[in-house]
Structures are given as structure tokens and as C-alpha cells.
Amino acid sequence: MSYESEMLKSLRMPVRSEVEKAILISLFKHNGIIKEFGIGEEIVDEIANYFGLTDEQRSAYLETIYRKENRLKKSNLWHRLLFRGADSLAKEELVSRPTETLRLTDKREWMLTEKGIDTVLKLLNIPGSKKEFLSTKSYEVQKIVKKLNRSKRPNVYNPIDKEKKTRKKLIESKMRKRGFRIAVIEAYNYKCALCGMKINSPDNLQWEVEAAHIVPHRLYGKDDIWNGLALCHLHHWAFDVGWFTLLDNYSVQISSKIDFLPHGLGKFGESDFLRSFVKTESKIFLPEEIETYPHKNSLNWHRENIFHQ
């Protein structure tokens, strides 16, 4: 038995398979991303707390001698165990290594892969059907998000994807849809462009805000950020059915039909579901980057085909 194995056994440290599961679950609860396992990182103590490690287990060090330099090297046993577990997960393609994530996000982090998310969903008994609604990131979907965010804004833009009917693979289509969703809600800082609502679920796994297609998905609207808006559930529905639209300067125009709603409809007590949030010529909350603003061609399509119908 090696020196390291003897220490792990004598200190009754968690077995690697259980550490791997804990890392996957922690990644999932942290939106799919955690930092490297360095001293002072919150995730190191969080997983240690999960196992109920003692101070001795957390602070134990391995001591090895560098033969060439004849110097002592000390490494924290718990950090080493975490790294070994994450490294094993990377070999199984359940997570991306920090060196890989760095090239994608400019940050040294461990990130779940699509295979990793599927594994965690099974561990936590979460139906796979909920995957598309989670805020959890994956390495593959983040590639799509990066591509969407870095695409150059076109002057001439057709928001309709004529080839959507013959999309090759269902899995690729679902990942593209999730990439669109994450790119849009991140651009709007996770809040509704109309009312500013920003809230997530108690378990932090889902944001209330949705990525709305301006040209609807069912009518082959593109999964581009220029064809997207971040809207809360209520105002997403209101936009889709034509209760309001946006002008080219991003000001809100409410349907005149709202004046004919029967008394008591569309009310939160004394507040109106649209007019309470919209003042004369008020504009929506827009992303920080102009490149990610909704394209005027998409807005024009919505006015002509949804709002004025």
C-alpha cells in the first residue's frame, strides 16, 4: 500500500467514487461550474462539509521529497483527493478540465459536459425532460453561447430559418435551443426586459425569466440573439399573443384592445398586467452590449404578423 493510500485509510477519508459524485452534484448546484480546488476556495469547504470532515481530515498534508532538488514538498491531502476525483471525471468526459474551460471562457474552472449533466440528473432522480429549463451550463452548450455572443450583428438580417424543417439531429437542435436560452437571459442579466422581474427558484437551478423568440420558434424563427428577448412568463405570453410589441427605438406599444377588456381581467389587485409597467414611450431594459439588441427586422416582423393581426 502506498504512503498516500495509507494516509487516506488511517484518516478514514471518503472513497474516490463518493468524492466524484459529490463533485458532480456540487457542479450542478453551482450552475455547472466550479473553480479549481485551491486553498480558500469555498467549494473545497462545501464538499468537505457534505462529508462532515474533521479539522484533521481537512488539514492533513502529504510530504514527499523531490529527489533531484532534495527538497520537501507538502500537498494538502483533501485538495489532492478532490483533484484526483475531478481528473477521473474528466477522463470519463463528465467534466471539462480547467485548461479546456480556459480556452472557452477565459476562466480556469471545471465545467459539466452534457454527459455529466445527464449523469447528475440520474443521481438526483430529476427527469431528463427538465434539462432544457435548467440554468446549468455545459461545455458543449457554452460553445454555442460563445458563438452566438461573438457573431457580428448583420445589417441585413432574416429572422426566419427556412431550413429549420430539415434540422439534422434532434440532440443538436436541443443544445442550440438551450444555447439560445442561456445567451439571451444572460444578455438581459436574468431579468424581464419589460417589467424587470429577476428571481430564481429556491434551489437556484432555474431562473423565472424565459428566452422569448420574437419570430416564434413554431414559425421557424431563428435561434439567434437578435431574434430573442428575455421576458418573464406572463409578459412572454403577452408578447407572443400580441398584447404588446416594440418599435424600432425599443419603446413599448400596447394593443389598443386593452381598453376593451372586461372589468377585472388582467389585474393584480389594482395593478394592470401591462400598463402598470409601461409609461408613455417607455423603453424596455436592454442588454449592455449593443450587438445583442433585438434586430429591427425581427421587431418589424412581430409588428406586422402578430401585433397587427
Residue 136: name the closest of 149, 119, 159 by CA: 119
Helix H segments across the chain?
3-10, 16-29, 42-51, 55-59, 77-91, 98-105, 114-123, 139-150, 170-187, 233-241, 296-302
Provide the phi-psi class of 266: left if phi over 0, else alpha when psi is between -120 and 50, else beta. Answer: left
pLDDT at 222: 93
Q: Is residue 266 part of a domain?
A: yes
pLDDT at 270: 80
DSSP annotation string for 246-277 = E-TTSBEEE-GGGGGSPTTTTEETTEETTTTT
Q: Which of 82, 98, 126 is the last residue of a domain?
A: 126
Same domain assignment for residues 9 and 113: yes
Q: Answer yes or no: do 7 and 120 share one domain.
A: yes
Give a yes or no: residue 143 inside a domain: no
Tell whether 94 and 204 lie within a shared domain. no
Each of the 309 residues of the chain gets a pLDDT tens digit; together they read 677 888 889 999 999 999 999 999 999 999 999 998 877 788 999 999 999 999 999 999 887 655 555 665 678 899 999 999 999 999 999 999 999 999 999 999 999 999 999 999 999 999 998 998 899 999 999 999 999 999 999 999 999 987 765 555 666 778 889 999 999 999 999 999 999 999 999 988 999 999 999 999 889 999 999 999 999 999 999 999 999 999 999 999 999 999 898 888 988 888 888 888 887 778 999 999 999 999 999 999 999 999 987
Residue 179 lies in a domain: no
Domain assignment present for 157: no
Query: 195 and 85: one domain?
Result: no
Domain count, the chain: 2
- Whether 10 and 106 map to the same domain: the answer is yes
What CATH code is carried by the domain that includes residue 114?
1.10.10
CA atoms within 13 A on the CB side of 236: 17
Q: Is residue 225 part of a domain?
A: yes
In a domain, 150, yes or no: no
Let me know whether 194 and 119 are in one domain.
no
Residue 240 resides in a domain: yes
Of 85, 107, 126, which closes a domain?
126
Residue 152 counted as domain residue: no
Q: Are residues 11 and 121 in the same domain?
A: yes
Query: What confidence score (pLDDT) does residue 75 get?
Result: 83
Domain range enclosing 232: 189-307
Which of 90, 110, 126 is the last residue in one of the domains? 126
